[in-house]
Amino acid sequence: MIPENVIRQIEAIVGPEQVLTSPEECWTYAYDATDQAHAPEAVVFPGSAEEIARIVRLANEHRFPVTPRGAGTGRSGGAVPIEGGVVLVLTRMNRILEINPADLVAVVEPGVILGRLKREVEDRGLYYPPDPASAEFCTIGGNVAECAGGAVAVQYGVTRDYVLGLTVVLPTGEIIDAGSRTMKGVVGYDLTRLFLGSEGTLGVITRIILKLAPKPAARQTLAAAFGTLAAAAQAVGQILTAGLAPTALEFMDRVTLGCVRELLPFKVPEAAAALLLVAVDGHPHDVEERAAAIARFCEEQGATPVLRARTAAEAEDLWKARKVISPALLKVKPNKVSEDVVVPLGEIPALIDGLQAISRRRGLLIPCYGHAGDGNIHVNVLYDRKVEREREAVNPTVVDIFALTRELRGTLSGEHGIGLTKAPYLKMELSEAAMALQQRLKRAFDPNRIMNPGKIFPGLRAR
């Protein structure tokens, strides 16, 4: 329990109107986009790095947990304050401090909503590529903490590839700058990268320097419906190996397609077993040629129809359908566990076959969709919590999925992180020595274990 006088001290730091302590209000910050929940004792909306540093120092003195939170859209329980304490909500720190076309950088506070940043950057003829499906409601701080990816990672990479520098409040209360606003830099260890994907366990990110790209001159989007998953996989392989450099290469399987069919701006045959959604960016002539070649590969594999979006609005409708897949799957079953495994490109067909075998063996539907272009497949285990057989089959199914992924030399998570939900499976990927080194790092940053405890390494004790 955080003593009453400590709550008063926090109120004195941020202002009493920026602190919530009633159980009802605290429960609204107990969740993220998983089915995990735990209420904090207080919810605090800081306005600056200095305020955060003072709260963190209090946390060390009185040993209460501090869990950073952006928009709470995380898919692994990272923002769920599983051990109580204070949730630090960063959404008040939402200024875009600078967009500098000469340096090709933007400097932002962590609470900026990604979609807003992308639009403001594009208004200046520039481009910030990472585009998770949650762009309209997640924060850039959460993107850095999870190393968010998204559809255009195939060409442009993930959040990690766009973060030049960070300001971070360490779990011990010091404020540090990591990295720089230059395109290169090798002074000391690469602490910036260490914070990328650190899930709020190594510090609170309070300022981010981002690398920008020029806005692509043209983009084309195509959709192609296939009679079999194997034909779609064949087309993916051809597109990737022919040097057509797709910007995005997404696929949906039959169940997924069924959930978003009516949102698509064209009629997809009932018999379609898979849909590919492809984008290409670049110079208008080059884009035209690459899009035509991609359409040809799809047709050769029997895809019908193959649609090339004629207008930006039509392309946007295609991407909108893609972005709502995750909630749309709940039409099929009321509960789901979403995994985001990655396998080497050549192993995608083996992953899909293996998932179908697991689905038959465990008696649960496992629809898949996602980033066929980089091997990051969103694997969804659908179930009904009220049906005992289904509920009890979920964990063994997840273990089977991870075992298959490791067999195929893949990794457990491409962009959603470990948090709470994947922590029990970490040993399936990390060796004992690698785990021990990571735990030593965590202790070096956070000797009193106050920063987002219970995540990634739940059993870890204070030093």
Ligand X SMILES: Cc1cc2nc3c(=O)[nH]c(=O)nc-3n(C[C@H](O)[C@H](O)[C@H](O)COP(=O)(O)OP(=O)(O)OC[C@H]3O[C@@H](n4cnc5c(N)ncnc54)[C@H](O)[C@@H]3O)c2cc1C
Sequence letter at residue 38: H
Q: Which of the 8 DSSP states describes residue 411?
A: B
By CB under 6 A, is residue 55 in contact with ligand X? no
27 within 8 A of 73, measured Cβ to Cβ: no
Stretch 358-397 residues interacting with ligand X (CB under 6 A):
none
In whole angstroms, the minimum distance from the beta carbon of 283 to ligand X comes to 27
Minimum CB separation from ligand X for residue 46, in Å? 10
Q: Is 300 left (phi over 0), alpha (psi -120 to 50) or beta?
A: alpha
Q: Which is nearer to ligand X, 79 or 259 (CB)?
A: 79
Stretch that binds ligand X, among 12-20, 139-147, 216-224, 235-243 (CB under 6 A): 139-147
In the complex with ligand X, the residue whose CB is nearer, 290 or 449, is 449
Structure tokens, 430: 């990390």
Residue 132 or 173 with smaller CB distance to ligand X: 132
Half-sphere exposure of 204 (CA within 13 A, CB side): 39
For residues 114 and 104, what is the distance between their CA atoms, to the nearest angstrom? 17
Element counts in the chain: helices (H) and strands (E): 15, 18
- For ligand X, the binding residue among 34, 143, 192, 301 (CB under 6 A) is 143
Report the alpha-carbon distance of residue 346 to residue 408 in Å, rounded: 10
> Which of 6, 148, 152, 398 is the binder for ligand X (CB under 6 A)?
148
Contacts with ligand X by CB under 6 A: the residue count is 38
258 forms part of the interface with ligand X (CB under 6 A): no
Sign of the CA dihedral running 352, 136, 194, 158: positive
Is the separation of the CB atoms in 1 and 86 below 8 Å? Answer: no
- Pairing verdict, β 19-20 and 42-44: antiparallel
- Cα–Cα distance measured from residue 20 to residue 38, given in angstroms and rounded to the nearest whole number: 15
Asked if 38 and 80 touch (Cβ cutoff 8 Å), the reply is yes
Q: Is 412 in the site for ligand X (CB under 6 A)?
A: no
Interface with ligand X includes 33 (CB under 6 A)?
yes
Is 452 an interacting residue with respect to ligand X (CB under 6 A)? yes
- 199 forms part of the interface with ligand X (CB under 6 A): yes
Taking CB under 6 A as the criterion, the residue among 79, 229, 264, 398 binding ligand X is: 79
| Residue closer to ligand X, measured from CB, 132 or 367 | 132
Which residue from 65, 81, 129, 141 is in contact with ligand X, where contact means CB under 6 A? 141
Least separation in angstroms between residue 408's CB and ligand X is 21
Of the candidate residues 44, 51, 52, 69, the single one contacting ligand X (CB under 6 A): 69
Distance CA 91, CA 84 (A): 20
* Two tokens, residue 456: 């990634």
The residues in 317-356 that bind ligand X, with binding defined as CB under 6 A, are 326-327
Amino acid at 463: R
Of 231 and 260, CB closest to ligand X: 260
Is residue 75 at the binding interface for ligand X, with CB under 6 A as the rule? yes
Which residues are near ligand X by CB under 6 A?
32-33, 67-75, 78-79, 90, 110, 132-134, 138-139, 141-143, 145-146, 148-150, 199-200, 204-205, 326-327, 415-416, 419, 452
